[in-house]
Amino acid sequence: MLTLAGIAKRFGGIEALTGIDLAVPAGSLLGLIGPNGSGKTTLLNVVSGFTAPDAGEVRIGATEVTGWPPHRIARLGVGRTLQHPRVFSRLTVLDNIRGDSRLSAGEAEALLDRFGLSAQRGRLGDELTIGELRRLDLARAVARDPRLLLLDEPAGGLTPSETSAMADLLSREVLPGRTGILIEHKMDLIAALCPCVVVLDFGRRIAEGAPSEVLRRPEVVEAYFGTEGADA
Amino acid sequence: MAHDLAQNTVDGLMTGSAYAMLALGFTLIFGVMRRLNLSYGPSIMIGAYLGTLVHLQFGMGAAVVALVTVLGAVAAGFYVERLCFAPMRGQAATASMVASFAIWMQLEELATLLLPRHSYPFPALIARPPFEIAGILIRADRLLTLGAAIAAMLALWLLVHRSRFGLALRATARDRATARHLGIDVDRIGLIAFLGASALGGLAGMLVIAADQQITPMFGMWATFKGLVAMMLGGLGSIPGAVIGGLLLGVVEAHGQWFFGPQLRDLLVYALLFLCLVLRAGIGAGVPSAERRI
């Protein structure tokens, strides 16, 4: 469904991504983990068209989309949430959902209901709590009924109970029938939702496998905690 | 005295409605692109010159001339957008502004090459004497301008606030990056807003020139100046502000001319603009800038 081949990206003297190969089969959710600055969000930016790679190829299904602008990739069926949710602060929640998604008012209302935002429908974007912002960001991402979802820390900044509710929401409303990549620092969430994870460190892919197995690998422990952690 | 005040106010509102339309065009471009198009007036002038050419060469009547003027302004606007705005999307806003100033000069040269005399006749849309309502003299062509302005403002408001395109336009005006992330083609939205602004300016310019029944190469500067001042009086990037700013400019000019004469009239407008800038006001003062966008 999603195939990345030899993706490389430099920002000045920094190699943000180096030779990343990745394949996400249709209908599966791949966890993408790694320490801060390892290149996870940059990789999602490359897939969604916000950052053009210096080298490599991005394919969604049979279509090569390398270098396409973000709106074309979104219209191909790619939904995305952001690490720091950006909503239109002076538009209502309902208008935020509708955007350019071609949803009717009724469909938008139904979507808000599914994401527990009906009570907030008339509130402005900048009046929402972080939990509501995360749910609005998710609802917007699925508004076009995308076949590929790129989720960047959907539980970032949430309390444990909110994180648990987010996991339910993802399992119930967002993920069924879709292919996706999930970036998350909360490993319980990754373990609960992703059968497979890829670990990045300094822009390179260092491990891949089932979460419980990968998180025990010395190179992964070292990436997160340094050499002392790996030795312990 | 009271009659003079009333007459001046009515005259000012009618003239101001044309300023409001010019300001709306400026506002549409500034609200969506956060950039200033100094070639806005000269683009309108090119449309008007093409209309005049059709009138002089082929003897076409007012309706055809009006259509050619509006379409000519849109074509000139497209040329300016492709040359000064589309290639500079990722660069500083001043780059587009300076480029549009250079194109201003080019368009003025083109106009004088097309029609080299200082002024040319432009057909009137309505040729009938003024009529009187409650002692106030009203020119039919100015009333037509007021009616067209009200219709254009309503249409623009409905487009921006009651259509899917308007929602995408407002989303783009508020946060281009997020709009792109949601699949909105912000460059296309910007181009359509630019062409819409040119059409609005072409309509306003055509009504003003038809009422004056003559066109000169100074019209481009005049239209840029009036539209810019009206927009700034109303607060940058606000649709209601542009309307209020245009009407206020018209009324202040009318009263200024009556009480102080034509030289001091413009000084009065500059003083008002200065006051607004000093107070960081505009009519939309006190409203956070994000709210004032489109």
User: pLDDT by residue (tens digit) across A38-69?
Assistant: 999 999 999 999 999 999 999 999 999 999 99
**pLDDT (0 to 100) of residue B290:** 44
Contacts of B157 (CB under 8 A, 6+ apart): B239
B271 or B76: whose pLDDT is higher? B76
Parallel/antiparallel/unpaired status of strands A14-24 and A2-11: antiparallel
Residue from B160, B175, B181, B239 to probe the interface with A (highest A Cβ count within 10 Å): B181
Domain range list for chain B: 2-292
Q: Which residue type does B124 have?
A: A
Structural tokens at position B53: 């050419």
Where does the pLDDT of residue B276 fall: very low under 50, low under 70, confident under 90, or very high at 90 and above? confident
**pLDDT (0 to 100) of residue B286:** 42
Instruction: Give the structural domain span for A197.
Output: 2-231
Residues of B in contact with A90 (CB under 8 A): 174, 290-291, 293
| Whether the predicted model's global pTM rises above the 0.80 cut | yes
Contacts of B18 (CB under 8 A, 6+ apart): B145, B149, B204, B207, B208, B226, B246, B250
3-state secondary structure of A12: coil
Where does the pLDDT of residue A227 fall: very low under 50, low under 70, confident under 90, or very high at 90 and above? low
Q: Is B179 on the interface with A (CB under 8 A)?
A: yes
Residue from B182, B191, B239 to probe the interface with A (highest A Cβ count within 10 Å): B182
Across the interface, do A86 and B175 touch by the CB < 8 Å criterion?
A: yes
Residues of A in contact with B175 (CB under 8 A): 86, 88-89
Of A80, A82, A91, the CB nearest to B174: A91
**pLDDT (0 to 100) of residue B281:** 55
Residues of B in contact with A91 (CB under 8 A): 167, 170-171, 174
Across the interface, do B180 and A70 touch by the CB < 8 Å criterion?
A: yes
Please check the confidence at residue B262 and state whether its pLDDT lies above 90.
no
Where does the pLDDT of residue A232 fall: very low under 50, low under 70, confident under 90, or very high at 90 and above? very low
The mean pLDDT of A127-153, rounded to a whole number, is 94
Across the interface, do A74 and B168 touch by the CB < 8 Å criterion?
A: no
Across the interface, do A70 and B168 touch by the CB < 8 Å criterion?
A: no
Please check the confidence at residue B72 and state whether its pLDDT lies above 70.
yes
Where does the pLDDT of residue B293 fall: very low under 50, low under 70, confident under 90, or very high at 90 and above? low
| Residue range B87-126, pLDDT digits in tens | 998 788 899 999 999 999 999 999 999 899 989 999 998 8
**pLDDT (0 to 100) of residue B289:** 47
What ipTM describes this predicted complex? 0.77
Where does the pLDDT of residue B287 fall: very low under 50, low under 70, confident under 90, or very high at 90 and above? very low
Where does the pLDDT of residue A228 fall: very low under 50, low under 70, confident under 90, or very high at 90 and above? low
**pLDDT (0 to 100) of residue B68:** 97
What element of type H or E holds B71?
helix B62-80
Question: How far is residue B108's CA from residue B103's CA, in Å, rounded to a whole number?
Answer: 8
Structural tokens at position B165: 């395109």
Cα dihedral value B284, B287, B293, B294, nearest 10: -50
Question: How far is residue B45's CA from residue B69's CA, in Å, rounded to a whole number?
Answer: 8
**pLDDT (0 to 100) of residue B138:** 92
Question: How far is residue B202's CA from residue A175's CA, in Å, rounded to a whole number?
Answer: 51
Range with lowest mean pLDDT among A70-84, A214-228, B35-49: A214-228
Q: Which DSSP symbol is given to A123?
A: S
Closest-CA residue of A relative to B288 is A90
Question: How far is residue B144's CA from residue A184's CA, in Å, rounded to a whole number?
Answer: 62
Question: How far is residue A163's CA from residue A153's CA, in Å, rounded to a whole number?
Answer: 11
Closest-CA residue of A relative to B290 is A90
* β-sheet bridge partners, residue A32: A183, A198
Where does the pLDDT of residue A231 fall: very low under 50, low under 70, confident under 90, or very high at 90 and above? low
- CATH number of the domain that residue A34 is part of: 3.40.50.300
Q: Mean pLDDT across chain B, nearest whole number? A: 89
Please check the confidence at residue B136 and state whether its pLDDT lies above 80.
yes
Residues of A in contact with B293 (CB under 8 A): 90
Task: Judge contact between A97 and A157, C-beta under 8 A.
Answer: no
What element of type H or E holds A16?
strand A14-24
Structural tokens at position B183: 């699949």
Task: Judge contact between B87 and B95, C-beta under 8 A.
Answer: no
Where does the pLDDT of residue B273 fall: very low under 50, low under 70, confident under 90, or very high at 90 and above? confident
Question: How far is residue B14's CA from residue A149's CA, in Å, rounded to a whole number?
Answer: 54
Q: Is B185 on the interface with A (CB under 8 A)?
A: yes
Q: Mean pLDDT across chain A, nearest whole number? A: 92
Contacts of A194 (CB under 8 A, 6+ apart): A29, A30, A31, A182, A211
**pLDDT (0 to 100) of residue A90:** 85
Of A75, A80, A91, the CB nearest to B181: A80
CA angle A149, A150, A153 (to 5 degrees): 130
For chain A, the domain total comes to 1
CATH tag, B2-292: 1.10.3470
| Residue keyed to tokens 């040119």 | B198
Of A50, A69, A89, the CB nearest to B290: A89
Please check the confidence at residue A100 and state whether its pLDDT lies above 80.
no
Question: How far is residue B181's CA from residue A79's CA, in Å, rounded to a whole number?
Answer: 8
Across the interface, do B183 and A75 touch by the CB < 8 Å criterion?
A: yes
Please check the confidence at residue A150 and state whether its pLDDT lies above 90.
yes
